Structure 1
């Protein structure tokens, strides 16, 4: 409950965008902005990727724009191929949920991010993107009931189960990113660090 609960205990918030939901109060917005500034992450899921593209005028997209007006959200960009979310645990280039759209947005890379000589990835944001925005309906792809059965269908047949597996993998990468930041980007510097330490 944004109005009542202390958000500091939650490193990650999943926010399904519902057009009819009331907007947070001024106090809740202040709490959310403190949360984002102190390292929390919000995954906004419009759950409309099967019917709308990012930035289109779906009811969910319009509601997200209204929600975001009072939030301190940095400039965003589609997830670049070398973003740490593509490799925090699993190597991924797509981030499906119940739907499989590539329209997933994160904090924009700094303008001076360059590929260093001998490094496979650019030196991107030094921390966790505070916001991830997409419409792939991830929570329903991840959902299981008390018996461990899948609650919602994903795709058809074997292809659907493969898509669900990739949805799980994206969830793992997302939570690893939330909890460990850019450690995976730092790994590319290990050889240089060991050399400097004389190892």
Structure 2
């Protein structure tokens, strides 16, 4: 199945290209007199908006970027297999040049050599997070982060990047967060590593919850704009074009179970960003009905 799905993902990409070619041939003659020559970025925009596309931030490190691509390819295969979401091939995103709004989700692997974005890139990133996009920041250092109280080079790089972002208050992911039940019921969020702390937007304070009158964690029908951790999710998701995992995880059956839970976390992330707090609403249907009856 993985082989077929990987092929279908590639086939969709080819089909999209063919559709673009056909569309250009079928333009009426009168319209051709207008200036419809391709503009810079047109191909990127068309490819990114043909269907759901998972994006990864290009770091300039070829090895990291390839692992990100392979990771989102593996996750896209699982979304095809298990949900109604049918992603196209994942795309690398240059935050300095490319439009971010085309992507509901961006995976950002942090490297020790990460450069601070420009002011223009920060403006795009902040706009992206404020309009429903989600960024998964992955320092990929959960195996050593926190040892001896030291901050890793990747952690320092993330702090540098975050200094220019409008990131809301964060908290460790609570046991009742909507991400723990968007599609699968989860209490652990491993990647290649497990046990690392995962941070999400903090829940409203007690006064806000009291004013709302229902125990919702998400009162604004929104999506946490950032998820931050260091479990190296892309390595756990990564497959080659035939669907074969690229990175060994743990040992034997336990390792494959860890990989499976990692896929489930990735699916929960995408279902959350695509459906908002729909699942939270379903959990609280009795409270909603009671409120409607008042």
TM-score (norm 1): 0.90
Moved over 6 A (4+): 195-198
Q: Could you tell me which of 97, 102, 112 is aligned with 1:19?
A: 112
1:92 aligns with 2:190: no
**Paired residue for 2:251?**
156
Q: Which runs of 5+ in 1 are unaligned?
A: none
> 1:67-110, CA deviations, whole angstroms, 9 ceiling, x for partnerless residues?
00000000100000000000001000000000002400000111
Superposed, which structure 2 residues align to 1:66-145 within 5 Å?
Answer: 66-112=160-206, 113=209, 122-125=215-218, 126=220, 127-145=222-240
State which drifts further: 14-23 or 39-48: 14-23
**Aligned equivalents of 1:71 and 1:56: distance in 2?**
23
For 2:140, the equivalent position in structure 1 comes to 47
Q: Which moved more, 1:167-176 or 1:20-29?
A: 20-29
TM-score (norm 2): 0.62
- Cα distance, 1:53 vs structure 2: 2.9
State the Cα distance separating 1:26 from its structure 2 match.
1.0
Deviations 1:15-36 (A, max 9, x none): 0001112221110011101101
Instruction: List runs of 5+ in structure 2 lacking aligned partners.
Output: 1-93
Give the distance between the partners of 1:29 and 1:172, measured in 2 at CA: 27
| Deviation of 1:193 (Å) | 4.8
Higher Rg of the two aligned structures: 2
Helix, strand or coil for the counterpart of 2:101?
helix
Aligned length: 194
1:167 paired residue number: 262
Equivalent-residue separation in structure 1 for 2:112 and 2:244 (angstroms): 29
CA distance in structure 2 between the partners assigned to 1:85 and 1:5 by the alignment: 28
Task: Please list, as runs of the form range in 1=range in 2, the aligned pairs for 1:188-199 lying within 5 A after superposition.
Answer: 188-191=283-286, 193=288
Considering Cα pairs closer than 8 Å and 6+ residues apart, tell me whether 1 or 2 has the greater RCO: 1
* Residues 1:191 and 1:2: Cα distance change in structure 2 (over 3 Å): same
Of Structure 1 and Structure 2, the greater helix share is in 2
